[in-house]
Amino acid sequence: MNADKKVKILATLGPAIRDAAHIRQLVEAGVNLFRLNFSHGEHADHAQRYQWVREVERELNQPIGILMDLQGPKLRVGRFAEGKVQLVNGQSLRLDLDKTPGDANRVNLPHPEIIEALQPGMSLLLDDGRLRLKVTAKQADAVDTCVIAGGELSDRKGVNVPEAVLQLSPLTEKDRRDLTFGLELGVDWVALSFVQRPEDIVEARELIQGKAFLMAKIEKPSAVIHLEEIAKLCDAIMVARGDLGVEVPAENVPRIQKDIVRTCRQLGRPVVVATQMLESMRFSPAPTRAEVTDVANAVAEGADAVMLSAETASGDYPLETVQMMSKIIRQVENGPDYQTQLDVGRPQAEATASDAISCAIRRISSILPVAALVNYSESGASSLRASRERPKAPILSLTPSLTTARRLTVAWGIYSVVNERLRKVEEVTSTALEIAQAQGMAQRGETVVITAGEPFGQPGSTNSLRIEALH
């Protein structure tokens, strides 16, 4: 088991990854879980990639998580009679429900939800924020706007509405079909796009019905406002900096990212930092210095995982990109102040036996030269609480559930082994020491901390801690 880094890597699969052998290379280079992006590709493509991952999982005998990322609503303007227009600062532009091809004075906006939500004074962003409009008047079926930042606008360009909450489900009909397919396939995680409010998480939960874990993508200003409520309702959070960086001023994104990471750590929810982390490596074998610093900062802030998108899905250097990201993570984690920074941001413990033990193992691993923290967990909850403390030693999570092991692939510092033999509490110590040694996480003479619970195998019962030397 390659447990030499604590921050995990989530890599997106796409046409650049052509077979199971390629996926195995990525796993051996440091990938812990893979993303299937349902904004692109056919179901057959995703099914093939899913099978490749499961094949590698069996070959390496280590759990690998698979996340399906739903596209969500795509808000776009209609078409123009000549394919495009040039908008000039200060001019008027009407957006309406008329499907007739547009011109420089008006264009179809086929989303009545947007027109309903807009009010005079609000901003509209077009084409990934390159053009900016301000609403000057509103009718039942149209809004009049003034062009604040003009430029070329062509057919079907995207629309962002940062200042309004739209009465729109995050799940389109396409998303519902994709979700049914993904759950039948057996994905471990579902990433929900276009989250605006806590009710969106409840709606998705009802559709998923416990068949996968739910990750909310924070990419809307309203989701930032309701972050804590949303995080409590889901299993993990993704800082989706692409759309987020369009809908809020770019200079606010670093602060929001820090706030999200801090909130998720306090709540014990894994958090993934995503979008353009090593973007230049799509076409270059080396990243920019700014990109290296971006990844390093996410690691230093305490993120559970960092994500690669087009870099591995369609880039020219997917393997080199993963290798570079692994190097950056290890470099930061091995720095003299990494653990100190994590300790400074340590969250407040809750008054539970599990948190008391989690705090204890963090403290023990800072005093003793502990090689590994071994935790037995059916549901993974106690392993996640231990991860929340960001201990100095890696966490070896022993579980009889492959589902649990795959869930934990996104969490900081946790490496899981599925072991069906653990059915009696007296087996925990001997099995923990045996597996820690077999996985290369502890050697003879080294110290291992073991946690478990009685009644044995009952979720939420972690109440014992042992310090053992490997003989």
Catalytic residues: 35, 76, 217, 275
DSSP classification of residue 400: S
- The DSSP annotation for 45-101 comes to HHHHHHHHHHHHHHHHTS--EEEEE------B---BTTSEEEE-TT-EEEEES--S-
Write the DSSP symbol of residue 10: E
Q: Give the other-Cβ count within 10 Å of 98's Cβ.
A: 16
How far lies 218's CA from each of 70, 432, 465, in Å? 13, 38, 37
**How far, in Å, CA of 315 to CA of 332, rounded?**
25
Helix axes 20-29, 43-60, angle to 10 degrees: 60
Count of residues making up the chain: 471
Q: What is the DSSP letter of 102?
A: B
Helix 381-388, helix 353-367: angle, nearest 10? 50
Other C-beta atoms lying within 10 Å of the C-beta of residue 471: 6
Q: What are phi and psi of 279, to 5 degrees?
A: -55, -40
Q: Phi, psi (5° rounding) for residue 212?
A: -155, 165
What is the rounded radius of gyration, in angstroms, for the C-alpha atoms of the chain? 24
Cα–Cα distance measured from residue 64 to residue 178, given in angstroms and rounded to the nearest whole number: 21
What residues contact 260, with CB distance under 8 A and at least 6 apart? 218, 224, 227, 237, 239, 271
